[in-house]
Amino acid sequence: MRTRGIYFSIVAFLLFAQTEYSFAQNGNSKQKIAVFAPLYLDSAFDATNGYRYDKTFPKFINPGLEFYEGVQFALDSLAKENAQLEIFVFDTRSAKTLLLEQINELDSVGLIIGHANAQENWVLADEARLRKVPYINVNLPNDGGITNNPYFVMLNPSLRTHVESVYRYLQKYFAVNTITVLGKKGQLEDLIKTYLEDFSKSTASVPLKLKYVDLADSFTVKKLLPLLDSNRHNTFLAASMDDNFNRRLLTQFALAGKSYKTSIIGMPTLDNLTKEFSRPEFKGPEIIYGQPFYNPKVDKVSVEINNHFSTKMFARPSDMVYRGYEVMWKYSKLLSQYKNDLSSNLSNKSNKVFTDFDIQPVLNKQTMTMEYFENKKLYFIKWQDGVIKGVN
């Protein structure tokens, strides 16, 4: 279990340093960055700054806190370089100050970074549009209805982008195969099918041969056996975001036995099951899915972060820690380089930390105007028998 010392370090910074982190020597040239995260300071501490949860650590606090921890690591590194930056950190779950009131505390800012829910995302994106400065969201996989906003950047690719990337992956590696699309009844499943059909019509390459099969919630390996052929490589697309459906699909295919060579390409939520892949019931099929934030954690910075958590906090850093680090590092560097022209350089691929970003404009196909920017980069991770076989 995590110690509450992690949380106290943030309190010392946020409550007593007045949410500002400045390490530039020349005050006239500092670039300002606003960071928004759900830290739950008012919920976790009483009026005398006493911790409410004794020795426990509520899980709902983790995502925002871990994101902030990564940001703080990046700031420590930037401070050593005497970066000309001034950082303002805001708790989006503050009971004392509304989100708009927090934003209005800033007279000027060159970049907004946020770990936000859908409503907060809308507010931050609109404020970025009014101020004409970039807003980078690090966690949401959808635009939440945001349109006509060239200052909004979505780092977590949308479901449409995932589906189109899976389609291209299948075209590249399984073009001659008949792809059996396995799904179930559901709104998201229907949306996945729509995206597949749309891309089949618009692709410049030869369209895939897709065969759609819907499965009941209680399906067994007997339903899958007629779809398998021991004389060829069997290729399936798991067209569902549901963990229970995907878990059942993978385990039932494993029951079919090793006489069938099977590849199952799925949606990004397959990543939720990776801790289970080493179990005997998952052995056999090759499991493939796309992720935008793949980090093998063997580089110098990742090792330093991991060692710090291990020795100081007796815990392992989550992926959100690494994401907080790389977003703060990369985009503060770009802000320092381009200053007021950062919005025109969001696709710049320099200052890579752990992963590659491919920031591209999303166009309204009817008006051909730009809606926002989105990261289109996906790493395709291949698992088999609980081991990563490769990353494309």
Check which CATH number belongs to the domain holding 179 and give it.
Answer: 3.40.50.2300
Considering the domain architecture, whether residues 49 and 136 belong to the same structural domain is answered as yes
Q: What is the pLDDT of residue 3?
A: 38
Considering the domain architecture, whether residues 15 and 76 belong to the same structural domain is answered as yes
**Selection from 245, 239, 358 nearest residue 289 by Cα:** 239
**Selection from 200, 208, 220 nearest residue 179 by Cα:** 208
Considering the domain architecture, whether residues 227 and 339 belong to the same structural domain is answered as no
Q: What is the pLDDT of residue 36?
A: 95
User: Could you tell me the pTM of the whole model?
Assistant: 0.90
The answer as to whether 149 is a domain residue is: yes
Both tokens of 355, joined, read 């992963």
Considering the domain architecture, whether residues 136 and 226 belong to the same structural domain is answered as no
The answer as to whether 118 is a domain residue is: yes
Q: What is the pLDDT of residue 160?
A: 96
The answer as to whether 367 is a domain residue is: no
The answer as to whether 364 is a domain residue is: no
Burial environment of residue 224 by CB neighbours within 10 A (0 to 12, 13 to 18, 19 or more): buried
Considering the domain architecture, whether residues 239 and 351 belong to the same structural domain is answered as no
Domain that holds residue 213: 159-291+380-391
Considering the domain architecture, whether residues 20 and 148 belong to the same structural domain is answered as yes
Q: What's the start-to-end Cα distance of the chain, in Å?
A: 35
Distance CA 380, CA 208 (A): 19
The answer as to whether 366 is a domain residue is: no
**Selection from 111, 2, 19 nearest residue 66 by Cα:** 2
Other CB atoms within 10 A of residue 379 CB: 16
The answer as to whether 11 is a domain residue is: yes
Considering the domain architecture, whether residues 89 and 16 belong to the same structural domain is answered as yes
Considering the domain architecture, whether residues 245 and 257 belong to the same structural domain is answered as yes
**Selection from 185, 178, 183, 116 nearest residue 153 by Cα:** 116
Considering the domain architecture, whether residues 123 and 20 belong to the same structural domain is answered as yes
Measured N-to-C along each axis, helices 187-202 and 159-173 cross at an angle, to the nearest 10 degrees, of: 50
Q: What is the pLDDT of residue 104?
A: 87
Q: What is the pLDDT of residue 51?
A: 55
Contact between residue 140 and residue 121 where contact means Cβ atoms under 8 Å apart: yes
Q: What is the pLDDT of residue 106?
A: 82
Considering the domain architecture, whether residues 221 and 312 belong to the same structural domain is answered as no
The answer as to whether 91 is a domain residue is: yes
Q: What is the pLDDT of residue 45?
A: 57
Both tokens of 381, joined, read 């991770």
- Would you give the distance in Å from CA 69 to the centre of its chain? 16
Other CB atoms within 10 A of residue 23 CB: 17
For the chain, what is the domain count? 2
Contact between residue 235 and residue 178 where contact means Cβ atoms under 8 Å apart: yes
Low-confidence ranges of the chain (pLDDT < 50): 1-19, 24-25
Considering the domain architecture, whether residues 14 and 129 belong to the same structural domain is answered as yes
The answer as to whether 316 is a domain residue is: yes
Q: What is the pLDDT of residue 103?
A: 87
Considering the domain architecture, whether residues 188 and 98 belong to the same structural domain is answered as no
**Selection from 36, 198, 203, 219 nearest residue 123 by Cα:** 36
